[in-house]
Each structure stands twice: as C-alpha cells, then as structure tokens.
Amino acid sequence: MDSSRKRLATRHRASLRAVRGGFIPTPIGQCPDRHRGFTLIEILLTVFVLGASLALYTSAAMLTQALRSAKEQDIALRIAATKLEELRALSYDALPESGTFEADALAALREGTGEITVSEYNQKTKQVTVTVSWNHSKGARSVPLSTLITEVGGL
C-alpha cells in the first residue's frame, strides 16, 4: 500500500509542477482534438434557431401584405360609402347617368377607379351601385356598394 500511495503522490507532484511550468495536463481518456468539431446538440440548436428566424420573417412578410390589403380595402370602402351617401342626398330625378367618378382618395389606391351604375329597379325605384376598383399585388380588387333610391322617399 505504501508503494501505491507513493506513486499517487509522485503523480500529484508531477501534475502540480506541470501546471506551474505553464501547461495543464490532459485528463486521462481525453484527447485534445476532441473539441475541434461541433456536437449534435450545437447543430440541432443552430437549425432550430435558423428555422424559427425564417418562420418569423415569413410571418412578418405575410402580415405586412395582409395589413396593406386591409388598408386598401378600407380606403375603397370609405370612398364607395361617401359617394353613395352623396348620391342618396340627391333627389330621384337628379341622379346622374351611369359612368365613372373622381375622388381625391382614389389616388391612395394603385390605379384606383370609381364607377357608378344607375339602373331601374321598378317604376319608382332606381338601384344605384358604386364600385371602387384598384390593382392589388395579387390581381384586381373591387368593392361594390348598392342602394335603392325611390321617387317618393328613401327606403
């Protein structure tokens, strides 16, 4: 037993001298080249972070497009409602012929146009439809609003 204690003490002193001498001994069973590569957990974590970043970027892009579409539709709806209220304020006989109309807010829509369609609903009633159309990134869009205007009074 004394000899094994002496060997252990000799090893301990040798390792202390090595540390004082400027290098740290490698523990038994470990190779210095072992830390050169990536572990599986590091690779999986990197893939997860990249995937989550891509998902967030895609969601943000889709949200931006949806918000733009909703804003354009809101503008078109306000233009159509305003024009329809202007037409409702007119008398039955003062309603204009079918055709296009201009509004300052149409400039906020890409290639925005406004159209009024006045048609006979029956002998004493006309149907008025206001349609605001514009070009969206996914194609042409439009918002139609209709009302009935009578000769005698409103509905």
Q: What is the CATH number of the domain that holds 86?
A: 3.30.1300.30
What are the strands of the beta sheet with 139-150, ordered from one edge?
Answer: 99-101, 113-122, 125-136, 139-150
The per-residue pLDDT for range 74-85, each reduced to its tens digit, is 999 999 999 999
Measured CA to CA, the distance from residue 106 to residue 96 in angstroms comes to 20
Residue 90 belongs to a domain: yes
* Number of compact structural domains in the chain: 1
Residue 79 belongs to a domain: yes
Residue 48 belongs to a domain: no
Domain of 130 in residue numbering reads as 60-150
Share of the chain above pLDDT 90, in %: 53
Measured CA to CA, the distance from residue 113 to residue 103 in angstroms comes to 9
Residue 66 belongs to a domain: yes
Record the pTM.
Answer: 0.64
Residue 40 belongs to a domain: no
- Examine the pLDDT at 43 and tell me if it is beyond 80: yes
Residue 49 belongs to a domain: no
